Amino acid sequence: MMKDSDMHNLTLAEIARNLAEKHFSAEELTRTLLARIEQLDPQLNAFISVTDELAIAQAKAADARRAAGENGTLLGAPIGHKDLFCTQGIRTSCGSKILDNFKAPYDATVVERLAAAGTVTLGKLNMDEFAMGSANESSYYGAVKNPWDLTRVPGGSSGGSAAAIAARLLPAATGTDTGGSIRQPAALTNLTGLKPTYGRVSRWGMVAYASSLDQGGPMARTAEDCALLLSAMAGFDAKDSTSVDQPLDDYLAALSQPLAGLRIGLPKEYFGAGLDPKISDAVMASVEELKKLGATVKEISLPNMQHAIPSYYVIAPAEASSNLSRFDGVRFGYRCENPVDLTDLYKRSRAEGFGDEVKRRIMVGTYALSAGYYDAYYLKAQKIRRLIKQDFVAAFEQVDVILGPTTPNLAWKLGEKNADPVSAYLEDIYTITANLAGIPGLAMPAGFIDGLPVGVQLLAPYFQEARLLNVAHQYQQVTDWHMRAPAGF
């Protein structure tokens, strides 16, 4: 039998092999990881809820299914969910006081599908409140720490998922990405994270932030594990009105495709002012590795990239102001004490229940949508959105994938960007365009600077998740950045 001290280092794919060969049971693995979470998470604050009873029950059920002859690759696989995926009977807080007492009455489609595949839910992971943030500091449950340096942020908004995986508290987790919230924390914590094409993964039961941008996806240490999770998460769902009815690729089979002849585009706008030169060097080193595998490289241009952030900070807050109007203190969630009338109930429940960043974005969105401003803001932003999409469509006529840095800077110090929200918004410069255009994007580990991880981002045309996972997997066969673990974990 494998020692408890080794189990936490296994990937999902390795866990599947060990479970199939009966080196340990799902229950033994689950108990080992729950003990590790109890021991180490106080340093990180990655979990909002640890669902130990559910986990043990699911692990026992997975062991029983295996004993009865089933052998699915995710049968008994321990994972966590970002705390905005609804989990029936379990708190789904969205990192907010307003949902602190909210036990979802149903499971999100993603949660349901992964559970049906036999995954074991170890807990619900910390996040920026309503997924609004790039540092995981806006959570009602406190900031998450980066396991590579506990004085630094893990990125956000899926910061709890990222920190927990990087610290080997669990091998994989779900995340969501509205402007970079899977890819940016993956980059800052040395993980692989995939934002699928808009509509590829069901949004049903995923608490909405900006509905035309939100997309759930997998986070793990390897591309192979992301492929395993995506295979179970993705696919048409009649309950999500924007779900796309298109067959899934075989993500696992695609991993082994050789990269000979792959055309990589390097957008000159991604390597300009604002990028840490050391990150640029690390990214270019990854390009050299991919060339050795047979890829060719070409400079391309995405001229409208610079307009993405202003456009995003209209569209996302506008949609958020509409989506978050459901939190009214009447049907679920937080209600203020002793309201004097209905307006007081609404205003105080929302003022006391939402944090500062959420209130800011609701107000920006309310303003942008208010009478007389719609054309100047929301419509203008949507026109820029088309320009950004057109840039990608033109680029993908010349290249198969686009490669660049995931973030302009390394993980920053806790609190460093809190005084000025606009400075934190600018950190999303390289990731936001994929959400506006709706194309898939992947972040993968590509080295370290002063002990902090660097991420490379890959972008592909619509529905080419398999290509992204393939490129990352092939890169991970010839590099070992993704295998490195932070000291102390």
Partner 1 sequence: MALERTEVEKIAHLARLGLSEADLPRTTETLNNILGLIDRMQAVDTTGIEPLAHPLETTQRLRADAVTESNQRDAYQAIAPAVEEGLYLVPRVIE
Q: Which residues are catalytic?
A: 82, 157, 181
DSSP state of 196: P
Least distance (Å) between residue 126 CB and partner 1: 22
DSSP state of 416: T
Least Cα distance to 282 among 154, 405, 193 occurs for 405
Strand, helix or coil for residue 212:
coil
Least distance (Å) between residue 341 CB and partner 1: 5
| Relative orientation angle of helices 26-44 and 159-166, to the nearest 10 degrees | 110
Least distance (Å) between residue 52 CB and partner 1: 22
| Relative orientation angle of helices 109-116 and 223-233, to the nearest 10 degrees | 110
Q: CA–CA separation, 476 vs 470, rounded Å?
A: 10
189, 154 in Cβ contact below 8 A?
yes
417: Cα separation from own chain's centroid: 21
Tokens of 147: 């396991």
Q: CA–CA separation, 381 vs 279, rounded Å?
A: 30
Residue 81's DSSP bridge partners are 124
94: Cα separation from own chain's centroid: 14
Tokens of 369: 């949508």
DSSP state of 376: I
Q: Which CB sits closer to partner 1, 335 or 473?
A: 335
At which residue do the structure tokens 């609190």 appear?
Answer: 415
Q: Which CB sits closer to partner 1, 299 or 420?
A: 420
Residue 343 burial class via C-beta count within 10 angstroms: exposed 0-12, middle 13-18, buried 19 and up: exposed
DSSP state of 169: S
Least distance (Å) between residue 66 CB and partner 1: 32
Residue 434's DSSP bridge partners are none
Q: Positive or negative, the Cα torsion across 447, 451, 455, 456?
A: negative
Q: Which CB sits closer to partner 1, 105 or 274?
A: 105
Q: CA–CA separation, 395 vs 461, rounded Å?
A: 10
Q: CA–CA separation, 380 vs 41, rounded Å?
A: 44
At which residue do the structure tokens 């990192």 appear?
Answer: 95
